[in-house]
Structure 1
Amino acid sequence: MTNLPPVPAGLRGAVDLSSLVNRPPAPAAVPQAPSGGAGEVGQPAPTAGGAVAVPAFVLDATDASFSQFLEISNTVPVIVDLWAEWCGPCKQLSPVLEKLIAEYAGRLLLAKVDVDANPQLTQAFQAQSIPAVAAVIGGRPVQLFVGALPEAQVRDVFEQVLELAAQNGVTGTAVVDGAPETDGGVEPEPEPLPPHHQDAYDAIDRGDYTAAIQAYKTAIAQDPRDQLAVAGLAQVSLLERLQGVTIADVRGAAAADPTGVESQLAVADLDLSGGHIDDAFDRLLTLFPSLDQAGRDAVRTRLLEYFEIVGTDDARVATARRRLAMLLY
């Protein structure tokens, strides 16, 4: 489901990471401060007072380096963000995760896992749909939630993770290695978003996808060339359609009605959100020739949304777009 499941009351790791725990550690990377994104973790360095030194609070994790995060999780809970570049909902969730991790100032770390580049971790965390978020506490994994959630709900989950960690004796903190002393200076304010884009982000943050959709539509009405609003509208529309649905119900309905437009559009949404992009495209393009005009219009509109979500420069989009053009003409 895209809804938030409860965090387990004790450490009952549903994912077997033993193969990663027993792997020899990867050669330590030279700690580097992040430059516009996540940093890379080197060998964690213990410090005084139950702390561990890290290059940044937000770090890239790989199949080769994850054993080091397991070690860090004995001191500080590690949040794991499973994402991909093509995943629209991931782009909504990741900034929320990174903002909150910064606010927790070392009580939690964030390990970002690109599922396309790290198949072992993807399999280990059983990431059948992304974005997926888990935690590792004392070397043991805890699955948290799937899908993009509002900031307030994510914050609640993080509080539960800290409570669970405390129950299991994981109460340390992380410090950024080599960070300069604060001088009381104020960080420069980020450049403000256009008003309707800000309205959309605020609505997404409180879980009001309907209001976010309306904000993006207003932005597009004022400037039809606003590609960020077009892409944002496609992404938040997908989030709204997925809200409250279950995989079993959607796939069951699609299997029972293999030629139904609505049932196939719904299961294509699941395919896309789970990273099965080619499956989503093929499902709708295969269905297309058998439909009446209304059905064809619905499928074409949904495919155009998918192209915006995945990215119009993606090779899979180019292939699907050519196939759609051949079916249209």
Structure 2
Amino acid sequence: MSGAVDLSVLAERADAQRRAANAPASQAPADGAPAGGAADAVIDVTDATFQTEVIDRSARQLVVVDLWATWCGPCKQLSPLLESMAQAAGGQWVLAKVDVDANPGIAQAFGVQSVPMVVAIAAGQPVAAFNGVQPQAQIQGWLDEILAKVGGALTGAPAPEGQPEEPEEDPRMVAAEELLNSGDIDGALAAYRAVAEAEPNNLEAASVVRNLEFVNRAQGHDPGIVETAAPGDVDAQLAAADVLLLGQRPEEAFERILATVRTTTGDDRDRARTRLLELFELFDPAEPFVVSARRKLAAALY
């Protein structure tokens, strides 16, 4: 996943497709595909059903997205293994299978550069990912670690058909989202902060707070700061890093701050280090560019 992942684009595309086809939100699966019902451990997902089957479902249950292609040899090894593990998981998580060739919107949102690619989604946000074929024991350890971190924030698998669903959305989150949609960024940020402070395990609220704080700050900078920031001006270099990151250039953004860490001392160095750690929080910690920057930061400090 290169840069921040904007999954809201898929929700808008799905709504447009459903309106154009005058079809219900949950579409019938293709022949031979899993039924996609609430109780299924393995579901096929399209651009049109992504919002319902992945984003909405991930508020209740961990969703593991398997991005694959028919021409991909390694996918033919990994996908059956993931399907078997999902069936045996007892509802702890659900496997959402996505054919990247048939669903370019999802592939673009995740920045897919190669398949197979596997992404874990909780509370509407990507929380971890890996590429390529992995042994079952390693995948299980990856899943166990994710569930240990986010399981308490999920309400559980959807109720079987005919039984009542879980309670409706948190009205505080709904109100915060309405503020955000109306353009009241400051009001939305305050509302999401209140939820995050009251519920430290609310991953969605915490993630939105981090992203809104960053976007608010980054949009307040003059984009020209990238070219005009003096090497010894810590504030200017941090601002330049914000602008670069907002422009989906994380490696360059991180390198700006790393260079500042290497050439400063005392409070200036600590400010640069703290800002870099904050920016890391906007990404999956397994992202290669995050891993690389963390190693460079450790080398610069020690």
Higher RCO (Cα < 8 Å, 6 or more apart): 1
Q: Structure 1-normalised TM-score?
A: 0.43
The structure richer in helix per residue is: 2
